[in-house]
């Protein structure tokens, strides 16, 4: 089943077009990666899906419902949850309070403790630090917190904006391992990355973004093997 469908979506900042006529789909149960260089429109795409930006053209469908005009805070309730670029941690809240904010839009209070347990199982580090302030944690811990917080709304679609940004190489592998684990538990994942290697290796399907438009698409393995992509994004060739 198609979970998310972007159809001819364009986004403008003032008069500058950041995304041009973009179309792609995310199927239920997949990990889909968007890779691209700085300024390719990756974060813009994510913000458009989560509802922080309004498209100037095209339509977005989520579970066969048109959400093009839907506000961001309602999309969360519908099942789209984002771990934003730069992590977006609430610095003056503790880890637990940050996680708690993730449940803000939820109607069912009863499932909250199950999800908290799930997050703590995925990230035992967060449990150790549950009373620590978000702003005082390391980059990696903040990234865990951002992903954990996004999971607290029990999303159908998890949007991850550059989860590897600013992390040590060993840590990047861990984060991607956990992303695969989250996906294995039944959450569809759409992630954007500059770290093309990991993003392509872990993805079922992937798209390459260049100056606001999709230039390549295929399975993760196909794109990993593509010579042009190897040269441009993987630093070999």
Partner 1 sequence: MSMSDGPKPLQTSKSAQGTAEAESHGVPPGSSAAVARPRRTFGAWSDKWREMPRTKQWLVLLPVVVLAFLLPLMDIPLITTEPGNDWPLACQAMAIFALVAVGLNIVIGYAGLLDLGYIAFFAVGSYTAAMLTSPDSAFIKIPYLWTIPVAIAVSMFVGVLLGLPTLRLRGDYLAIVTLGFGEIVRILATLIPAMKGQPGFQNVGHPPGVGDDGVPVFANNNGTPWYWLTLVILIIILFLVGNMERSRVGRAWIAIREDEDAAETMGVPTFKYKVWAFALGAGVGGLAGAIMGGQVGFVNNQKFDVVTSILFVAAVVLGGSGNKVGAIVGGALVAYIPLRFTAIAEYKFLIFGVALIIIMIYRAQGLVPARQRLLAYGTKAYADVKRKYGKASHRADTTPQSTAEGASS
User: Of 87 and 205, which CB lies nearer to partner 1 in the complex structure?
Assistant: 87
**DSSP for residue 136:** G
* 234 scored as a contact of partner 1 (CB under 8 A): no
Contact set for partner 1, span 80-99 (CB under 8 A): 81-82, 84, 88-94, 96-97
Q: In angstroms, give the least distance from the CB of 74 to partner 1.
A: 8
For residue 190, the minimal CB distance to partner 1 (Å) is 14
HSE (side-chain half, CA atoms, 13 Å) at 154: 14
Does residue 70 touch partner 1 according to CB under 8 A? no
Residue 158: CB minimum distance to partner 1, A: 12
- Rounded to whole angstroms, the Cα distance separating 203 from 190 reads 9
- For residue 192, what are the contacts with CB-CB under 8 A and spacing of at least 6? 33, 34, 35, 36, 42, 43, 45, 46, 160, 161, 162, 209
The residue behind tokens 């580090």 is 125
Query: What's the min distance (Å) between Cβ of 146 and partner 1?
Result: 9
- Interacting span for partner 1 (CB under 8 A) from 16-24, 27-35, 66-74, 215-223: 66-74
Residue 131 binds partner 1 (CB under 8 A): yes
Kindly tell me which of 201 and 234 has the beta carbon lying closer to partner 1: 201
Per-residue 3-state assignment (H helix, E strand, C coil) for 155-220: CCEEEEECCCCCCCHHHHHHHHHHHHHHHHCCCEEEEEECCHHHHHHHCCEEEEEECCEEEEEEEH
* Closest CB 109 distance from partner 1, rounded Å: 5
212/204 Cα distance (integer angstroms): 22
Residue carrying structure tokens 């109607």: 107
Which two tokens mark 116?
A: 């908290």
Q: Of 83 and 208, which has the nearer Cβ to partner 1?
A: 83
Sites for partner 1 among residues 14-43 (CB under 8 A): none
Window contacting partner 1 (CB under 8 A); options: 58-66, 117-125, 185-193, 194-202: 117-125
**Is 60 an interacting residue with respect to partner 1 (CB under 8 A)?**
no
Asked if 50 touches partner 1 (CB under 8 A), the answer is: yes
Residue that is written with structure tokens 């392509």 in the block: 200
- Give the C-alpha separation, 116 to 23, whole Å: 35
Q: Under the criterion CB under 8 A, does residue 106 sit at the interface with partner 1?
A: yes
Nearest residue (CB) to partner 1, 149 versus 205: 149
Looking only at residues 163 through 202 of this chain, which bind partner 1 when binding is defined by CB under 8 A? 168, 170-171, 174, 177-178, 181
Q: Which candidate, 128, 133, 146, 126, places its Cα nearest to that of 93?
A: 133
């Amino acid at each position: 089943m198609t979970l998310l469908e972007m159809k001819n979506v364009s986004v403008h900042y003032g008069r500058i077009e950041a995304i041009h006529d973009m179309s792609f789909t995310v199927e239920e149960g997949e990990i889909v990666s968007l890779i691209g260089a700085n300024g390719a429109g990756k974060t813009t795409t994510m913000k458009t899906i989560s509802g922080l930006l309004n498209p100037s053209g095209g339509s977005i469908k989520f579970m066969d419902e048109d959400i093009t005009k839907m506000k961001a805070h309602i999309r969360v309730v519908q099942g789209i949850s984002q771990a934003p670029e730069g992590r977006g941690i609430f610095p003056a809240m503790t880890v637990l309070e940050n996680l708690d904010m993730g449940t803000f839009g939820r109607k069912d209070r009863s499932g909250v403790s199950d999800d908290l347990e799930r997050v703590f199982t995925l990230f035992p580090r967060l449990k150790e630090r549950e009373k620590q302030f978000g702003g005082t944690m390391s980059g990696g811990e903040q990234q865990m917190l951002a992903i954990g917080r996004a999971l607290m709304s029990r999303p159908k679609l998890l949007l991850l904006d550059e989860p590897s940004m600013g992390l040590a190489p060993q840590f990047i592998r861990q984060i991607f391992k956990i992303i695969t684990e989250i996906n294995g538990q039944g959450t569809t994942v759409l992630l954007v990355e500059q770290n093309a290697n990991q993003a392509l290796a872990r993805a079922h399907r992937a798209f390459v973004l260049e100056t606001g438009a999709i230039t390549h698409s295929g399975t993760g393995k196909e794109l990993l093997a593509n010579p042009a992509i190897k040269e441009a994004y993987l630093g070999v060739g």
